[in-house]
A and B are shown apart, each in its own frame.
With several copies, the nearest count.
Chain A
Amino acid sequence: MPPYVMDLAYVLSAALFVFGLKKLGSPATARFGNALAASAMLIAVAVTLLDRSILTWGTLAGAMVLGALIGTVLARTVQMTSMPELVGVFNGFGGGASALVALAELFRVGVPGATGIAAGGSASIGVLVGAVTFSGSFIAFGKLRGFITGAPVVYPFQRTLNALLFVSILGATVWVALGNHDPTTLLILCGLSLLLGVLLVLPIGGADMPVVVSLLNSYSGLAASAAGFVLGNPILIIAGALVGAAGLILTNLMCRAMNRSLTNVAFGAFGGTGVAVAADAGDRTVRRTNAEEGAMLLAYASSVVIVPGYGLAVAQAQHEVKKLTDLLKARGVKVTFAIHPVAGRMPGHMNVLLAEADVPYDLLLDMDDVNPEFPRTDVAVVVGANDVVNPLAREENSAIAGMPILDVDRARSVIVIKRSLSPGFAGIDNPLFYNENSMMLFADAKEALSELAKEVKEL
């Protein structure tokens, strides 16, 4: 193949990445966009394998086959609810790869490619950002899985330590950039960067991890760009920069959907998942109900809105909720789902979960569409949701003030399925539970829903 064909193939690949990313951003074309981006990657890899004078085919082929195998198995077998973790892991791998590429290039040729300081600088930045992405992603993974406490980790002299670390990393980066890349310096830079990644993510609450993963995703793009500068390879620069920028925008969008700022996420606001403030029931009483009574209410309603939340995901009750929906629909009840943008622990969590159980996409209503419907709704069923239906958000000095909520309290009656009166992610009490028209069905979501289904069937 003549060299300019190769060059043009790379250019084509860059353009395809752009189109793919663009298409990924809109519901109707997202799958096509993903396919476009994947083919862009395929073209780039194929061109690289064909063109460059590959000498050590053995290692290369082995490594690629191994990676592809691991990737496929992970992608196929993971639970839908574990998506954020998986993306986090993949992300860490990408960042790690970029750091290793920069590192290997430094080992190989001293100052590679272009002129001194620029190349040295991009190499050390590549190592730094890549390593931060790597270790940060694994802490995020641990927090999401629960290996590491979800609560913000605080320890004495935290600030002093962080400041020290910052200064040393800055020093090491500049030192490497200036052309000093003996193995020891490089290892120190690596080590410090890994530590930085850990310390940056540890203090952030577990439930904010999706935002953290998105930010780290942006970093891993920048790390790839830096590696591109090191190797003088424009496709790395382009794809990396695209992800870097898009990731930043996406992170911002995610924060906005949660009504928070990035600084607020990074430096902790209301604690992590672990923080369970005791329910301050005071002298208020709740009305309890059971599956039998609930089933009657549902079966004879004309319209029912189901509000799923984090508890649905925890209980893995998506199939049960689908079954109940089908039974009610068979009886002529109009059933829809109200999806709050930040219900669950990742954006789109509820959509993904319900889609897994084959709940038709059309039944899922956005917050803005469903809120005007509540006053006309007979029964609202809140399944493992808490903060997203907390009327305190309308009060000015609550922890979740200003967060838009689903107005379930305006429905004729409300059935709340959860295991206790304990609070949700924000750690605050929920006055909804004490309302006149609210009934509590204390149980695990999966059990409660299958009991409800059984009772409805028997009616």
Chain B
Amino acid sequence: MGEWILGLYVFVLAMLVGFEVITKVPPTLHTPLMSGANAISGISLIGAILVTGSDGGQWATILGGIAVVLATVNVVGGFLVTDRMLRMFRRD
């Protein structure tokens, strides 16, 4: 079994989990959920860190550095803004 095919298993299973986990979400939560999921997709930050940190030549560092900035904005901003939205849905 190659590493690649195991990756494919992981991908397929994660997709299935993703499909199952989100079922009935009330419209009120659509925007926060979208925003939270969006912050999770900033996971490419990990990739960006690996690429930048590994010292693979000028290009890799430059592209990786930009990627780190973009992904960090996505992650930090995404989670914060989601929390800000959700804080508003309070009950009296």
Known: A41-B42, A227-B44, A227-B47. A63 touches B52 (CB 8 A): yes
Sorting the interface of chain A by its residue count into under 10, 10 to 19, 20 to 34 or 35 or more gives: 35 or more
A90 at the interface (CB under 8 A from B): yes
B28 to A348, Cβ gap below 8 A? yes
B30 to chain A, nearest CB (A): 3
B40 to chain A, nearest CB (A): 5
A41 to B39, Cβ gap below 8 A? yes
B4 to A21, Cβ gap below 8 A? no
Contact with B along A223-236 (1 / 0, CB 8 A): 11101111111111
A242 to B18, Cβ gap below 8 A? yes
Which residue of B12, B14, B46 is within 8 Å of A48 (Cβ)? Answer: B46
Majority SS at the chain A contact face: helix
Contacts of B88 on A, CB cut-off 8 Å? 80, 351-352, 355-356
Among the 9-residue stretches A158-166, A249-257, A442-450, the one with 4 or more Cβ atoms under 8 Å from chain B is: A249-257
Mark out the residues of chain A between 173 and 229 whose CB falls within 8 Å of any chain B CB in the assembled complex: 210, 213-214, 217, 220-221, 223-225, 227-229
Contacts of A41 on B, CB cut-off 8 Å? 39-40, 42-43, 45, 75, 79
Give Cα A41–Cα B43 distance, bound, in whole angstroms: 7
Which residue of B23, B31, B57, B86 is within 8 Å of A108 (Cβ)? Answer: B57
A38 to chain B, nearest CB (A): 4
Contacts of B45 on A, CB cut-off 8 Å? 41, 45, 97
Known: A220-B41, A250-B25. A346 touches B31 (CB 8 A): yes
Known: A91-B41, A98-B44, A233-B46. A238 touches B71 (CB 8 A): no
B55 to chain A, nearest CB (A): 4
Contacts of B34 on A, CB cut-off 8 Å? 87, 210, 213-214, 217, 247, 250
Total contacts A-B at CB 8 Å: 429
Give Cα A233–Cα B1 distance, bound, in whole angstroms: 8
Known: A232-B3, A347-B28. A104 touches B64 (CB 8 A): yes
Give Cα A86–Cα B79 distance, bound, in whole angstroms: 12
Which residue of A59, A108, A366 is within 8 Å of B65 (Cβ)? Answer: A59
A90 to B78, Cβ gap below 8 A? yes
A101 to B17, Cβ gap below 8 A? no
Contacts of B4 on A, CB cut-off 8 Å? 114-115, 118-119, 229
A363 to chain B, nearest CB (A): 8
B89 to A237, Cβ gap below 8 A? no
Give Cα A253–Cα B19 distance, bound, in whole angstroms: 12
11 contacts between A and B (CB under 8 A): A7-B5, A34-B82, A56-B55, A63-B66, A93-B70, A105-B60, A238-B13, A238-B14, A243-B38, A245-B16, A366-B26
